[in-house]
Amino acid sequence: MTSFAERKVLALSGGVGGAKLALGLSKILTPAQLTIVANTGDDFEHLGLPISPDLDTVMYTLAGRNNQEQGWGLADETWQAMEMLRNYAAPTWFQLGDKDIATHLVRRQMLAEGKTLSEVSAHLCRQLGVEHCLLPMSDDPVQTWVDTDAGELPFQTYFVGERCRPTARGFRFAGIATAQPQPGFMTRLADPQLSAIVICPSNPFVSVDPILQLAGVRAAMAQSAAPVIAVSPIVAGAAIKGPTAKMMAEAQMPVSALGVAEHYGARADGALLDGFVIDEADADQVQDIERLGIAVHATKTVMHSLQDRIDLARSTLEFALDLAARRKGG
Ligand code: FO1
């Protein structure tokens, strides 16, 4: 079994699927080795509270406190605040559990005191016993808007309010041109000791693209000596969770691992990927993806159990180390 001792890894993540792989990585890498950068394009203010869904999903998952059935929020949650909001005829389309509200209250308070989102996240993680480094992609606000046949909608209105029903025609990340990537994120990208950049199986359009579109991120990834590996969020023509497949179909893209690989592109062509991890159910696409100039590793990517998460993390890192060795070897 390969040892990952001393190897440093940077993982880019959205919510549920990304958090599962991030948890697997956290079980085989120490806090000094692993940094997770989460999308904040889904962040929004609701009832005066700053909500950071992807950051919180990763944090609750690493803390072992996540609600596995729901995919977001906390386990053993209660909903009395929602009940009271209903009494007040206040908006209830976006569900905030009683315990989850505490997270947003603390975030609200610390941001009001002038703390950055990174400082808030570090504090929340520490208090929940999360030792691995979880960074927001930026401390500056970035808001995803979805251009749909029902007009341009803020992301959470489209995703939760409309349950992704409108046809999506495109995405806009308001603030992305001026938002600075989180400084620690850039430091890690520039670290010569970095052994792998792992793009988790998150939605390429609304979870990963905002991270990639931050100023300097793509250039830093292109310059990194570390291989860039993505794990496909599409298995056998469907998304494990969420609207990725629907968005791909609406963008007239093939709904397949190959479609995701084409979206990211090959580093050899000035785009992103050295390697792509696909599910063994999609092994018939290996040659087509390799023809794009991207190395492929087919394995079991559907993560039901904790062991599945660890196995996928291990096999992704082994693939990354293999690619790094091949790059060095010329
Ligand atoms: N997703 C839902 O589908 N419905 C909800 O009511 C909901 C509430 C919610 C509250 C806090 C939080 O951190 C996340 C929440 N999510 C909810 C999930 C979230 O909005 C999306 O899954 C992500 O933005 C997509 O990655």
Per-residue confidence band for 1, with pLDDT thresholds at 50, 70 and 90: low
Contacts (Cβ under 8 Å, ≥6 apart) of 189: 10, 197, 217, 220, 221, 224
- Helix pair 53-62, 16-28: axis angle to 10 deg: 40
Using CA atoms, how far residue 15 sits from 87, 120, 187, 228, in Å, is 31, 18, 23, 20
Would 80 be classed as within a structural domain? yes
> Which range is least confidently modeled, 3-7, 51-55, 205-209, 236-240?
3-7
Cα 194 to ligand 1 centroid, rounded to whole Å: 32
Q: Is residue 151 part of a domain?
A: no
**Is any atom of ligand 1 closer than 6 Å to the C-beta of 74?**
no
CA of 294 from ligand 1 middle (Å) equals 33
Q: Using DSSP, state whether 314 is helix, strand or coil.
A: helix
pLDDT (average), residues 221-250? 94
Q: Residue 248 Cα, ligand 1 centroid: separation in angstroms?
A: 21
User: Does residue 143 have its Cβ closer than 6 Å to ligand 1?
Assistant: no
Measured between alpha carbons, how far is 249 from 167 in angstroms, rounded to an integer?
10
Q: Decide if 118 contacts 107 (C-beta within 8 A).
A: no
Q: Give the pLDDT confidence of 101-150 residue by residue, as tens digits.
A: 999 999 999 999 999 999 999 999 999 999 999 999 999 999 999 999 99
The whole-number pLDDT of residue 70 equals 92
pLDDT tens digit string along 273-320? Answer: 999 999 999 999 999 999 999 999 999 999 999 999 999 999 999 999
What is the number of domains present in the chain?
A: 1
Query: How many Å apart are CA 16 and CA 241, to the nearest integer?
Result: 8
pLDDT value at position 207?
A: 98
In a domain, 8, yes or no: yes
Residue 35 sits in which domain range?
Answer: 2-138+170-329
Report the C-alpha gap between 158 and 65 in whole angstroms. 27
| Residues in contact with 89: Cβ distance below 8 Å, sequence separation at least 6, in sequence order | none
Rg (CA), the chain: 19
What whole-number distance in Å separates Cα of residue 222 and Cα of residue 189?
Answer: 10
Per DSSP, the three-state class of 79 is coil
Atom 25, ligand 1: residue with shortest CA distance: 15
Which residue owns the Cα nearest ligand 1 atom 13?
53
- The whole-number pLDDT of residue 327 equals 76
CA–CA separation, 3 and 7 (whole Å) = 9
2, pLDDT greater than 70 = no
CATH code of the domain containing 47: 3.40.50.10680
Return the residue whose CA atom lies nearest to atom 14 of ligand 1. Answer: 53
Residue 266 located in a structural domain:
yes
pTM confidence score? 0.97
Q: pLDDT tens digit string along 154-167?
A: 999 999 999 999 99
Which residue has the CA at smallest separation from atom 19 of ligand 1?
53
3-state secondary structure of 219: helix
Is the residue at 201 inside a domain? Answer: yes
pLDDT digit string, tens, across residues 241-274: 889 999 999 999 999 999 999 999 999 999 999 9
Residue 221: pLDDT over 80? yes
Ligand 1: atom nearest CA of 155 is 24
Note the pLDDT of residue 330.
54
Q: Does the residue 147 lie in any domain?
A: no
Higher pLDDT: 217 or 2? It is: 217
Indicate whether 3 pLDDT > 80.
no
Percentage with pLDDT > 70 across the chain: 98
Higher pLDDT, 1 or 222: 222
What is the structure's pLDDT at 241? Answer: 83
- Amino acid letter for position 75: A
| 153 falls within a domain | no
Q: How far is the CA of 4 from the centre of ligand 1 (A)?
A: 34
How many whole angstroms from 327 Cα to the centroid of ligand 1?
40
* Residue of the CA atom closest to atom 4 of ligand 1: 160
Answer yes or no: is 155 within a domain: no
Average pLDDT value for the chain = 96
